[in-house]
Amino acid sequence: MSGRKPVEYRDAPPAVRAVFDDIKATRQVEDVNNFWKHLANDPLTLKRTWESVKEIMAPGALDVRTKEMVYLAISVSNGCEYCTASHGAAARKAGMTDAMFGELMAVVGMANETNRLANGYRVPVDEAFNR
C-alpha cells in the first residue's frame, strides 16, 4: 500500500526537504525519524504537523521535559507503540530519569483506573468543580 513506504531525503521533493531540514536544524539531529519519513507521503500534512509540533513543544509556561512526559503519557494511554517509543526517547533526552518514568507510569495507570471507577459509579461532578 502506497503511503507505507518512507520517503528518504535523497528522493524527497523540495517541499519535503525543507521540512526535513528544519526538523534536523531544530532538533540538531542527523536524520529525521520514521514518523516524518512516512508522513512525507503527504507533504501538506508533513508541513502542518511539523509546524504545529514545533510550536507546541517549544518551552513556554511548561518546560520541554514536562511536555515530553505528557506526550509519552498520552501515547501510553492510547496504546500507540510508535509514539510510546519515540516520545519515551525524547523525554529521556529532555531529562526524564528512571525514577520520573516510574512515577509517570504509576500516574497514567492510576488515572486510567479511577476514570473507569468514576464512570462505573456514575459519579456526578461536585458543584465546587463547576464554578
Q: What angle do CA 123, 125, 128 make, to 5 degrees?
A: 140
Nearer to its own copies, 17 or 33 (CB): 33
15 part of the interface to its own copies, by CB under 8 A: no
From the CB of 12, what's the least distance to its own copies, in Å?
15
The footprint of its own copies on this chain (CB under 8 A) covers a number of residues equal to 80
Concatenating the DSSP letter of every residue in 30-80 gives: SS--HHHHHHTTSHHHHHHHHHHHHHHHSSSSS-HHHHHHHHHHHHHHHT-
Whether the Cβ atoms of residue 46 and residue 16 lie closer than 8 Å to each other: yes
Contacting residue, 8, 15, 95, 112, with its own copies by CB under 8 A? 112
14 part of the interface to its own copies, by CB under 8 A: no
Choices 8-16, 17-25, 109-117 (CB under 8 A): range interacting with its own copies = 109-117
The DSSP call for residue 5 is S
Q: What residues numbered 23-62 form the site for its own copies, per CB under 8 A?
A: 33-35, 38-39, 41-42, 44-45, 48-49, 52-53, 55-57, 60-62
